[in-house]
Structure 1
Amino acid sequence: MAVPKISTRERILDAAVLRFSRYSYEETGLRDIAADVGVDVAYVHRCFGSKAELFAEAVAVTIRAEELLSGEPARLAHTLAKQLFTSDGSRPEDGPGKLDIIIHSLTSPAATSILREFIMNDFIKPLSAKLDQPTAQKAAVVAAVITGLGIMRNVLQMDPLLDDEDGKLESYLTALLKTIMASA
């Protein structure tokens, strides 16, 4: 069976994800991404418009908020906790971890603006809409807890947070998220 051919646009997006996950927003140039794929930089512009638009799409395909928020609302806390611990969040050998693109861009005003918009529109607002008492504040706290734990566990590799074979960490996070989501 033949392997499906990846479009040039997809190859550009994959290269952008790798670049933005390894270098800051300012250090990543469209010419570098174009060179990684072997295309003219004009083609990158034609496919994505601007560097900001390419970055926004790279963030979206890396984080995949719709997958994080999938499932029924009653089990959302469990689903979010399970995804954090089953995906392991660590950097896979063949690509970046979900948090890498965020971490490398936190010092850039242009990138943080894009990240802020993505997190609000693709995570906080959809999560808030799934809560019994919709509130962006609760959804933002959930996002902060998940991101903070992800950084402590998968980026800083904090020993007490690495081993969850007994499921206690997932259980703690599920209980915490349920409390946040259910609070008045």
Structure 2
Amino acid sequence: MPRTLNSANSTDRMPGQATGKERILASAMLLFARMPYSDTSLRDIAAAAGVDVAYVHRAFGSKAEIFRQALLALAPLDDIAAGDPDGATMINRICDLAFLRDPRKVEDVRPLHLLTQSSLCSEARAIIAQFFGTSLALPLSRAFGHADPGRAHFALSLLSGFVTHRAFFGPADLLAIPEADQRQMLQTALMNAMLPGCSDGVFGWRPI
């Protein structure tokens, strides 16, 4: 899904020419999508963007701020609540995110790439937790009519566990299962996590 980054505004550039700050953010997105937060340095980001590391410091202040702004810039691409969908539609959109391919260019990067790479990094934990709560758990809870996001957080823990296990360990037996079947099982698990009947041992939803 093509997009342009609007993290900085400038009146003295040619149309279509990215500012230094935009190049930094775009480069950081790709790096954070491919490597954990802890393994990505400001020097790495500066080198990828073709700018001096001192400029990166001046533009963003810290690596944490770059990571936070990268997630915010990417969030609209994975707006699971767009169009005020019902719960089943939102779960379907979330499941789509679970099978994203490794990005080769910045246009392919999605928030879940960054979350998967850095979810275990203590330095990024607070930023990721806030993103999960605001951008995923709250809208998912509202779609199912729940007063609190407890069930949504449980469902998202299933999602993140599946995505992390699949991406980092890549067990052959799991990958041998057709992707359509994996997706159906994940969708069923997430739907049942969000439905009250599941707490009584009754599976309230199955794919048609």
Q: TM-score range by the shorter chain?
A: 0.7 to 0.9
C-alpha change, 1:140 and 1:29, in structure 2 (3 Å) is: same
CA distance in 1, matches of 2:186, 2:82: 17
CA deviations on 1:43-64 (whole Å, 9 max, x unpaired) are: 3234333321111122344566
1:12 Cα offset (Å): 0.7
CA distance in 1, matches of 2:183, 2:131: 26
C-alpha change, 1:109 and 1:14, in structure 2 (3 Å) is: same
Show the counterpart of 1:13.
25
Aligned-residue CA RMSD (Å): 3.0
Which of the numbers 88, 107, 123 marks the counterpart of 2:136? Answer: 123
Structure 2 unmatched ranges of 5 or more: 1-14, 198-208
CA deviations on 1:9-66 (whole Å, 9 max, x unpaired) are: 2221121123334444344332332232222334323433332111112234456674
1:77 Cα offset (Å): 2.2
Show the counterpart of 1:105.
118
Q: Does 1:181 align with 2:181?
A: no
SS of match in other structure, 2:139? helix
Q: Give the AA of the match of 1:14.
A: A
CA deviations on 1:91-150 (whole Å, 9 max, x unpaired) are: 134466755533543454221122112212221122222222232111101111111121
Show the counterpart of 1:150.
163
Which of the numbers 45, 56, 69 marks the counterpart of 1:57? Answer: 69
Q: Give the AA of the match of 1:109.
A: S
C-alpha change, 1:60 and 1:154, in structure 2 (3 Å) is: farther
Q: Does 1:77 align with 2:91?
A: yes
Q: Give the AA of the match of 2:21.
A: R
CA distance in 2, matches of 1:152, 1:24: 15
Q: Give the AA of the match of 1:32.
A: D
CA contact (8 A) 2:77 2:110 kept: no
Q: Does 1:92 align with 2:103?
A: yes
Structure with larger Rg: 2
Q: Normalized against structure 2, the TM-score is what?
A: 0.68
Show the counterpart of 1:29.
41
C-alpha change, 1:128 and 1:27, in structure 2 (3 Å) is: same
SS of match in other structure, 1:14? helix
Q: Normalized against structure 1, the TM-score is what?
A: 0.75
SS of match in other structure, 1:114? helix
Q: Give the AA of the match of 1:134.
A: A
Structure 1 unmatched ranges of 5 or more: none
C-alpha change, 1:26 and 1:131, in structure 2 (3 Å) is: same
Q: Give the AA of the match of 1:76.
A: M
Q: For structure 1, which segment, 108-117 or 15-24, has the greater mean C-alpha deviation from structure 2 after superposition? A: 15-24
Count of aligned positions: 178
